[in-house]
Amino acid sequence: MSELYEEAPIENTLDGAWRGTIATDAANMDDTVEVLLRSHDGKHRFGPAQWVARGHELPERGNQCLVVFDEKSMPYVIAWWPFDPGAAAGRCHVRRNTNQEINSGVAAAVIFNVQVTDDSDMWAPAPNPTRVYIPTTRWYDIFANVRFEEQVAGNFRQLSVVKNNASSFAIVNASPTGTVPTVLTLSVPHLFVAGDYVELYANQDSGSPLDIVYDNDYSIEFKVIGR
């Protein structure tokens, strides 16, 4: 599968964000670097590339990076991090096995109470059972599935993923029908830094409280899987 985030072939476009490797050391804070894009051929260097500062650290040859291209097809390193092949990627699958009430117009974090898989101590039942913590800096795939109870009132049912109690980076909405449950499914990749945490939020505007409903087959599920 292509490493290009937008899944467009490199021979047609350089749009999107690309996974790559820094190929040259930066000598100082003003120096540029060259990058290799593994999805291309792993040999062709792109540069000179400016890079986002991270304190007083300098990017080094072999660091992993995320690259975008401007309108002149010049690369820009928007994120970079040390390569640690021995670090565990981290895989966590949690769920809730009872219904949870969601008030109208107020997004609420889903409170998980069952650990299905967790190989890197990413989740704990206390003190923050809504949070899944990120063990290592890398890309993670986020999967979520939630079912709202049947209710025709209102305009939306919503599921979102929030990082570090700040802004959401993935949102999915659906309109209620009232005759069948509203099922929301979310799948998105995201680049995290070690120590980040993510939460799954549910929201609705029916005018009264609604439950997100436990179903043993698919709801209420949340997975965070490192690449």
- pLDDT top residue among 2 and 158: 158
Tell me what pLDDT residue 11 has: 40
Residue 33 and residue 124 in one domain = no
Residue 86 counted as domain residue? no
Domain that holds residue 151: 91-226
C-alpha 171: how far from chain center: 11
Residue 208 and residue 106 in one domain = yes
CA terminus-to-terminus distance, the chain: 13
Q: Name the domain count of the chain.
A: 2
Q: What is the CATH number of the domain that holds 41?
A: 2.40.50
Residue 171 and residue 193 in one domain = yes
Residue 95 and residue 77 in one domain = no
| Residue ending a domain, choose from 34, 56, 81 | 81
28-51 residue pLDDT tens: 999 999 987 765 544 567 889 999
Q: What is the CATH number of the domain that holds 156?
A: 2.60.120.40
Sequential DSSP letters for 130-176: T-EE--SSEEEEEEEEEEEPP---SS-EEEEEEETTS-EEEEEEE--
| Residue ending a domain, choose from 61, 81, 101 | 81
Give every CB contact of residue 42 below 8 A, 6+ residues apart in sequence.
36
Tell me what pLDDT residue 159 has: 97
Residue 103 and residue 184 in one domain = yes
Cα distance between residue 32 and residue 220, in whole Å: 46
Q: Are 78 and 17 in contact (CB under 8 A)?
A: yes
Residue 52 and residue 149 in one domain = no
* Amino acid sitting at position 163: K
pLDDT tier, 3 (very low <50, low <70, confident <90, very high otherwise): very low
- pLDDT top residue among 145 and 81: 145
Instruction: Please tell me whether the overall predicted TM-score, pTM, comes out greater than 0.85 for this model.
Output: no
Residue 101 and residue 193 in one domain = yes
Distances (CA, A) of 179 to 148, 152, 159, 183, 210: 12, 7, 20, 12, 15
* Counts for the chain of helices (H) and strands (E), in that order: 0, 17
Cα distance between residue 158 and residue 147, in whole Å: 10
Cα distance between residue 213 and residue 111, in whole Å: 13
Residue 96 and residue 76 in one domain = no
* Residue burial 134-153, b: 16+ Cβ < 10 Å; e: rest: bbbbbbbebebbbbbbebee
Residue 145 and residue 197 in one domain = yes
> 3-class SS at 201?
strand
Residue 142 counted as domain residue? yes
| Residue ending a domain, choose from 55, 81, 107 | 81
